[in-house]
Every structure is written in structure tokens, then in C-alpha cells.
Amino acid sequence: MAAFCRGRHRWKRNTYFQIITRNLTGKFDYDLVVIGGGSGGLACSKEAAQLGQKVAVLDYVEPSVKGSKWGLGGTCVNVGCIPKKLMHQTALLGSAVEDAKKYGWQIPGPVSHDWSTMAEAVQNYIRSLNWGHRVQLQDKKVKYLNLKGRLVDDHTVSGLTRAGKETILTARNIVIATGGRPKYPTHVPGAVEHGMTSDDIFWLNESPGKTLVVGASYVALECAGFLTGLGLDTTVLVRSIALRGFDQQMAGLVTDHMRDHGTTFCWRSVPRRVERLGSGELQVTWTDTGTGQDQVDTFQSVLWAVGRAPETRALGLEGLGVRLNQDTGKILVAADEATSVPGLYAVGDICQGRPELTPTAIRAGRLLARRLAGQTAQLMNYDNVATTVFTPLEYGCVGLSEEEAESKHGKDSIEVYHAFYKPLEFTVAEKDASQCYIKVVCERGGDQKILGMHITGPNAGEVTQGFSMGFQWGATYRQLVETVGIHPTCAEELTKLNISKRSGLDATVTGC
């Protein structure tokens, strides 16, 4: 105890000395210190360094409850977009092997998947990205510190190593970009002890086996989709609706497709407890809120996908007067990413009201760096950012959902053009295309400005990305249909839309 107290007093003396020195000289160790080595933080730090700023990045990953840990790059690189898309692709390849037989490929014997081989390949690629980020920081002369950062005051950061050794840094400006981590439903007995989250599933070296996915967010559905695609018995427990915040007609098409291709859905279901049996299996009890009846089944793994919480608790924000949303714990920021404390900024998932998307964090980080360096006054435009849900049948969208358009403009003031279509790839393979659908929501009057675009189908993300540029610049329905399509593609179907929901006509595309 005495040694601890002496160390604590030394910490206080060292910190106090550095703060006094800074105040007397007006000099800082760095122009910018970034806490968090994810997409937003890395983009901000590298941009600032290129503009001549002296920059340091602190990044430290607390292992998950299950002990999963990873390197530099944040959620997207390690436990999000990158491994998710690679495992999604793995599942698509399995489906393509089956399709190939219809196209004449001779494939002897049954096709099976080896999780360990996939996991090793995916994890090796992630590690290469971790290393690549470190090299990029070094090349751009950004100081990388594997330290857990905490704010001492508005210009001072304390960084601790895993062993507890402290480093004090001072900076003219500080950017917080620590992102978020998955939540556990701690009120459910056995949830933490026997479950895992998206922080763990991508780092499993062995197959999770029969899996229960609890939640209906895009994370839940994407994971359930690729697990089913890899041949695993997968069940999704849904409390209310799927893909909250997305167009609900499109969400229904996504879950219908997943159901038709082997994923089991238990709707209106609330988990009650998870118990480990003597066999090692997990017995899960949940309640069907429609009937009030309890249901019980056994699984080898339980994946919780019930939301994410911002990494703000250990940063010392409230002691400095940084305003937080009391419901979400996220940081309240202005249009220029400034917090309520001068000199402190935040970017990415940790900010209230920002899309939890990697590209928005990257662009916001870069623009913030340019503003802090006096290069521009441009603010990040968070409106109408395109996104895609990488379920087995992808769902891409940009702009308003049909529900949002009705709420904002009134049902009589919008026109919805739509079509069910069949990708050419599905024909010879005899694949069901009943959930391949396009919807474009427009203003009803004037030039019929497009308010929202939605598509379910193969490569929906690639399709949405291209059309989103026109959408950002105020594209109209007339401009859309006057665009000559590329034949034969799924994207082409958007340029051929001519049936409105209001007309009541059959929206099924036939022939060319």
C-alpha cells in the first residue's frame, strides 16, 4: 500500500509540474493528441500530420469479456466491417458453388466448410492491416502510443500502459475517437458468463456451432446471415422489429429471404436466462410476448447483438464539464465536432446523433484536422449518407425511408416508384428472386426530387454507392429514368422504374 501511495503522489507531482510548465511557457508537447486508433482517429491524425502538425495517437484495446483482443485500427478493421464482409463473402461463395452445378461445373462429392481455415485467413489479413496502420503512422511522423488515454484537463492527457506506467502529454487540441463496444443484457442471468458479442465471433478459431443470435440490428442479421450461409443451424431472437431505423418494407424482404434460406426467426421474443448444461451446451429460455409462453432450446453458442455503448466511462469527461447525452452516454458535439469544452473535439461513433459508419468518421476526422490546421472552414455533411446491410441478400439505401418520407412530407405529397426484378445471375441457377426489389421515394410535385432510394439484391452496396452521388446533388425521378442503363445489370433496373405504388399496377419486371 505504501508503495502504491508513493507512486500516486509521484504521479500527482509529475502531472502538476507539467501542467504548471505548460501554463507558464504556453508550449505544448503536441499540436494534436488523438485518443483512439479507429477509423476516425487515424484519419484525423494522419491528415493533421500531413498539414505540418505535431501529432500523437493513443490507442489501447481492453480485451472483451471473453478475452478477445486485437491491434490498431478500431472496430471496423478488427471486429466490424472487414471481417464481417469477408465472412459474408465466404457464405456467398458457398452458395455460388451450388449455383455452379447448374452452369455445368462438375463438383464431385458434397461441399463442406472448414471454419478454422477461414478464421486463420481472415485473422491474418486483419493483422496485416494492424501492421499497415502502424507503418502509415510512422511514415507520416505520427507518434503512436499503445496507452490507455484519460483526460487530466482540457490540454493534458494521461496515458497508462497495461502494467500501469504513466505518460503525460500536453496538446493544443485533443480529439476523442474511442468509438463503442457491444453491450450485454446484464439483467439476463447467464448472459455475460455464457454469451459472446461481435467482439468475439470474428476471433473464434473453431466453429461456434448451433448459434442463437439475440437482436435484430444490422449486426445481428449480418452475423446470422453468414452463419447460416456457412451451414450452421442459426436462430434469431427478435424483441420487436428488424432493422429499426431502416425502411420496414425492405427490412421485411431481408428477413423473409433469410428465413427462406434457413435462418429461424423467433419474433416478439425476450430472453430470460442462459444456463450451461452438463453436456456443455447452453440452454436458453425466452418468452414469447405474444402468447406469454416460455420457450426453451439448446445451443452451442449465444451471440448478443443488442446494441453498442460508447467508450466514454474511463475518459474523465464529466469531471471536465464535457456534456454527454444522459440516455446514451455519447458526447454532445456541435457541427464542427467541438465538445462543450474548448479545445476538446470528438469524431465517430462516440458522438451523439452521428451515423455509426466508418466512412463518415473518416471524412469527419479529416475535415476536423484541416479546420484545426486553419486550412478550411468546411464542415462534415452528415445528411443522406448511403449504407448497406450485408445480409445474404444485400440491402442498400440512401436518404429517407418510405415511413420517414410520409412523416415529413405527408403521404399525398410523395410518389413511390417500385419494381420486383430478377437478376440475370439467378435465372440459370433457378434461384428465388421474390425478395429482389427496388423502391425510389420521390416528391410528388414539381421535378419529383428523389427523397430515398432502396434496393435489395446481389451487390446492393455497389449499386447504391454509384447512385448516391446523384442523390447527393438533388437528382430527380426524371433524371433517373433518362439515364441509360448498363445491360444486363441489377443497377439498370433503377433507370427503368415506371410503376408507382399509387397506380396499383403489377410491379414485376418481365423480359428486357
Kindly report, residue by residue over 10-54, the tens digit of the pLDDT: 445 555 555 555 554 579 999 999 999 999 999 999 999 999 999
Q: 63 preceded by cis ω (within 30°)?
A: no
pLDDT value at position 14? Answer: 57
Q: How far is CA 195 from CA 50, 215, 233, 303, in A?
A: 43, 13, 17, 6
The residues with which 452 forms a beta bridge, in sequence order, are 399, 441
323-365: per-residue pLDDT in tens?
999 999 999 999 999 999 999 999 999 999 999 999 999 999 9
Count other C-beta atoms under 10 Å from residue 81's C-beta: 18
pLDDT value at position 504? Answer: 97
Long-range contacts of 379-386 (CB under 8 A, 24+ apart): 379/335, 379/336, 380/337, 382/353, 382/354, 382/355, 384/468, 384/471, 384/472, 385/355, 385/357, 385/359, 385/360, 386/464, 386/465, 386/468, 386/471
Give first-to-last CA distance, the chain, whole Å. 80
Catalytic residue (choose from 9, 88, 187, 487):
487
Q: What is the pLDDT averaged over residues 467-475?
A: 96
d(CA 414, CA 369): 40
Query: Is position 487 annotated as part of the catalytic site?
Result: yes
Candidates 271, 312, 68; CA nearest to 184 is: 271
Query: What is residue 97's three-state secondary structure?
Result: helix
Enter the pTM of the model: 0.93
pLDDT value at position 236? Answer: 98
Residue 188 has pLDDT above 80, yes or no: yes
pLDDT value at position 291? Answer: 95
- In this structure, are residues 303 and 295 in contact, taking their beta carbons and an 8 Å threshold? no
The x, y and z cell numbers of residue 290, run together, are 405474444
Residue 1 has pLDDT above 60, yes or no: no
pLDDT band at 7 (very low <50, low <70, confident <90, very high): very low
Residue ranges of E strands in 263-356: 264-266, 269-276, 282-288, 294-299, 301-304, 308-310, 344-346
Q: Which residue ranges form the domains of the chain, and what is each CATH number?
A: 27-74+123-182+309-372 (3.50.50.60), 191-306 (3.50.50.60), 393-503 (3.30.390.30)
Q: What is the pLDDT averaged over residues 155-175?
A: 96
Q: What is the pLDDT averaged over residues 181-199?
A: 98
pLDDT value at position 313? Answer: 84
Count other C-beta atoms under 10 Å from residue 25's C-beta: 8
44-98: per-residue pLDDT in tens?
999 999 999 999 999 999 999 999 999 999 999 999 999 999 999 999 999 999 9
Local structure of residue 502 (DSSP, 8 states): G
Residue 205 has pLDDT above 70, yes or no: yes
d(CA 465, CA 490): 13
pLDDT value at position 510? Answer: 81
d(CA 288, CA 238): 10
d(CA 424, CA 426): 5
Count other C-beta atoms under 10 Å from residue 261's C-beta: 16
d(CA 271, CA 284): 7
Residue 9 has pLDDT above 50, yes or no: no
108-126: per-residue pLDDT in tens?
888 999 999 999 999 999 9
pLDDT band at 161 (very low <50, low <70, confident <90, very high): very high
pLDDT value at position 24? Answer: 47
265-317: per-residue pLDDT in tens?
999 999 999 999 999 999 999 999 999 999 999 999 999 999 999 988 889 99
